[in-house]
Structure 1
Amino acid sequence: MERPSGDEVMVRGFTRYIEQVAQELGIPEGKWAARDDGAWEAYVGIPELELYPGREVALVWTPDEGWALAVETGSGEDMILAGYLGSTRVPPPSAVRAFMDRLRHDGGALRTTPARGTREDALRAVADYGGVAGGVAAVE
C-alpha cells in the first residue's frame, strides 16, 4: 500500500477535522465548508444563537487564529469576529461542541485574542486527522 503524499494527508486531515466538528455540532452537509486551496479556512453555519437574534452566526477556522465566532453585522458587510474559542487552535471536536453548548446556555465566555501557537503547528494538528501516523513532514 502506497503512503499518501503530504498534500493528500493534509487535505484529507483538514476536511475530516472540519467534518467531525460539524457532525459534533449536528450541522448537516451543505451548511459547512472547508477551503483546502492553501488558505485552509473553514466555515460552519450555526443555527440561530440567542446571543445574536435574527443574525447569521458561524464558527470560522483558520490555522492562524483557530476557531472564532463570526456574526452578521446586519448592514450587509462581511461578518465580524465576536471572539475566539480558546487557547488551542485545533481543539477536539467535542471541545468545540462544549464551547457552543456554553454559548447557547449561558452566553459563555469568548476570548478576545486568538489561540496561541504557530500556523505550522495548527496545520500539523489537522493533518493528524488524515489517518497517517505522524501527519506530514512539512507544511507550507
Structure 2
Amino acid sequence: MTSASTGRDAGPAARFAAAHDNGLRERDEYRELAARTVTRMAHDRTDKALLLSILGLEPAADTGPRDLEPALAEYTRQVAEQIGVPADAVTYEVTDTATAYLGLTRRTTDLPRRDLMLVWDERHGWYIAIEPRGNDQPPVISHLGIQIAPPPATVARFVADVLHGRRRGQLSPLPPLLDRVTLAAQMAGIPA
C-alpha cells in the first residue's frame, strides 16, 4: 500500500500538484463567496443575473438553511421602517454569523457629537453603540436584551427610549443560541 505524500519529502511534481489543487480550491471558494455577495446585494433577479454574468460567476450553491437570509432582510427592513432609518443606511449579512447594521440619524443629548448605530447579531440581539472611529471597538450604550429577534415595534421603542435618555446599560448575559430555522421563524413573527 502506498500513500501520496505532499510534505518536504515529496518530489517537486507532487508539491506542484498539491499547490495547484490548493490554488484551485481557494479560487473556487473566493468565486463562491463573490457569488453569495452578489446574490445578497442584488436588487432583484434580473440585477443578480446581470451582475453574475458580468463577473463570470455561477449562482452560489446552497450550503444549508437559507431561510435566515430572506427573514433577516425583511426583519431588518421592518425595523428600519419603524425607526425611520433610510434604506441606504441599512446593511445585513448572513455568513458564519448573521448581523444587521442600521446607521441612526439622531444622536443622544449626552453624546451630541457622536454618531450612533443600531446593531443586531444572532448571539446578542439588538444594541445601540457609538459609531467607531477607525479600528476602535464600538462602545455599547444600551442592549435590548429581552429576546434575540423581538417585534420591530419593540426595537423602535427601545431606540426611542435610548435616544431620549430613558435607558442605558451594557450587554446583558448571553441568551441560549438559537438555531437559524427557529431564528428565522421568530423574525417572521411565527410562534416557536
TM-score tier by shorter-chain length is 0.7 to 0.9
Asked if structure 2 preserves the Cα contact closer than 8 Å seen for 1:69 and 1:84, the reply is yes
The corresponding residue for 1:22 is: 80
Give the counterpart of 2:105 among 30, 47, 64: 47
Distance 1:119 1:29 in 2: 27
> Across the two proteins, how many residue pairs are aligned to each other?
128
Report deviation, 1:87: 1.9
2:160 is paired with a residue whose SS is helix
Residues 76/54 of structure 1: CA separation in 2 closer, same or farther (3 Å cut):
farther
The structure with more strand, counted as a fraction of residues: 1
TM-score, length-scaled by structure 1: 0.75
Q: 1:34 aligned to 2:92?
A: yes
Q: 1:80 aligned to 2:139?
A: yes
- Give percent identity, aligned residues only: 23
Structure 1, 107-116 or 82-91: larger mean CA deviation: 107-116
Query: Structure 2 unaligned runs (5+)?
Result: 1-63
The corresponding residue for 2:71 is: 13
TM-score, length-scaled by structure 2: 0.57
The corresponding residue for 1:92 is: 151
Cα RMSD between the aligned structures? Answer: 2.8
The structure with more helix, counted as a fraction of residues: 2
Q: 1:128 aligned to 2:185?
A: yes
Structure with higher Rg: it is 2
Distance 2:68 2:97 in 1: 12
Distance 1:125 1:23 in 2: 24
Report deviation, 1:134: 8.4
Counterpart residue type for residue 59 of structure 1: L
Asked if structure 2 preserves the Cα contact closer than 8 Å seen for 1:85 and 1:110, the reply is no
